[in-house]
């Protein structure tokens, strides 16, 4: 395991390089408020691949967005483009979980010449909005920036308390939660403080509409593997299956587990990926 620094849209991106340095290249994108450590458990049963797992801006060890800049979804796509250029890979497998899977769909449609295979874990494209809701959503996001509430300090007295808090935020095993918080926090003057940018919780100013998301799905050329958690966040949504039907070349696996199944039980996920990639 090796720490790397890559260029992002407007700052440095931290990354973890996992597996065989000479192996098949895989660029991995984590979920919202997770970080690159999300892919450590999955890399262990896949030692033959070279997995470079990014920390998105504002997450893990990556730089935060500059002051006054909102975390727009499409800017994550630009971050991936910058990182891919920095890595110098001509083609690679793109692997994403949750938010990272949603970003991966849009990136694969935007840069189809770069993506050899697309692997999505419990995510199948960005959350879509309704046109009539756009003005109120934009105002809500701006108002939060104009009148921010006093933020909690985001500090803990011990690591066990932070691990427990992470488990309360979303279902995940102890081992996975500890991996995430160890990378997502730091000790300072006797306190454990979160590294994540508080602005990540600010409401998104704008959502893409479903017909726009569909246009991206339609343009994904890479063969795609979608792994759905049977007790996860997206398997029961009607829009998930509507989008699946639009992919040109997709194989769907539903596996036991919750949203972080790639951390809680990585072996079945790894087996599905190996069978798909080869």
Question: Which residues are the active-site residues?
Answer: 98
Kindly write down the DSSP assignment for every residue of the chain, as one continuous string: -EEEEEE-SSSEEEEEEEE-TTSEEEEEE--TT--GGGGHHHHTT-TTEEEEEEPPTTSTTSPPPPTT----HHHHHHHHHHHHHHHT-SSEEEEEETHHHHHHHHHHHH-TTTEEEEEEES--SPPEE-GGGHHHHHHHHHHHHHSPPPPP--EESSHHHHHHHHHHHS---HHHHHHHHHHHEEEETTEEEE-S-GGGGSPPS--EEHHHHHHHHHT--S-EEEEEETTSSSTT-HHHHHHHTT-SSEEEEEESS-TTHHHHSHHHHHHHHHHHH-
């Amino acid at each position: 395991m090796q720490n790397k620094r890559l260029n992002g849209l407007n700052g440095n991106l931290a990354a973890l390089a996992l597996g065989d340095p000479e192996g098949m290249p895989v660029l991995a994108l984590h979920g919202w408020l997770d970080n690159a450590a999300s892919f450590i458990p999955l890399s262990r049963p896949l030692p033959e691949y070279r997995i470079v797992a990014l920390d998105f801006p504002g997450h893990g060890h990556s730089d935060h967005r500059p002051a006054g800049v909102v975390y727009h979804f499409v800017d994550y796509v630009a971050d991936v483009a910058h990182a891919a250029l920095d890595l110098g890979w001509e083609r690679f497998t793109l692997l994403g979980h949750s938010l990272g899977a949603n970003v991966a769909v849009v990136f694969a449609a935007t840069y189809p010449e770069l993506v050899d295979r697309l692997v999505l874990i419990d995510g199948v494209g960005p959350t879509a909005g309704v046109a009539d809701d756009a003005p109120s959503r934009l105002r809500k996001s701006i108002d939060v920036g104009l009148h921010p509430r006093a933020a909690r300090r985001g500090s803990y007295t011990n690591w066990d308390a932070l691990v427990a808090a992470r488990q309360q935020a979303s279902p995940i095993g102890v081992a996975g939660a500890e991996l995430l918080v160890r990378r997502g926090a730091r000790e300072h003057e006797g306190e454990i403080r979160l590294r994540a940018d508080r602005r990540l919780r600010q409401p998104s100013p704008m959502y893409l509409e479903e017909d726009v998301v569909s246009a991206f799905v339609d343009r994904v050329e890479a063969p795609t593997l979608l792994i759905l958690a049977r007790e996860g966040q997206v398997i029961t949504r009607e829009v998930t299956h509507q989008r699946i039907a639009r992919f040109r070349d997709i194989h769907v696996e539903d596996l036991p587990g919750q949203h972080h199944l790639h951390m809680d039980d990585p072996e079945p996920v790894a087996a599905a990926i190996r069978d798909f990639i080869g």
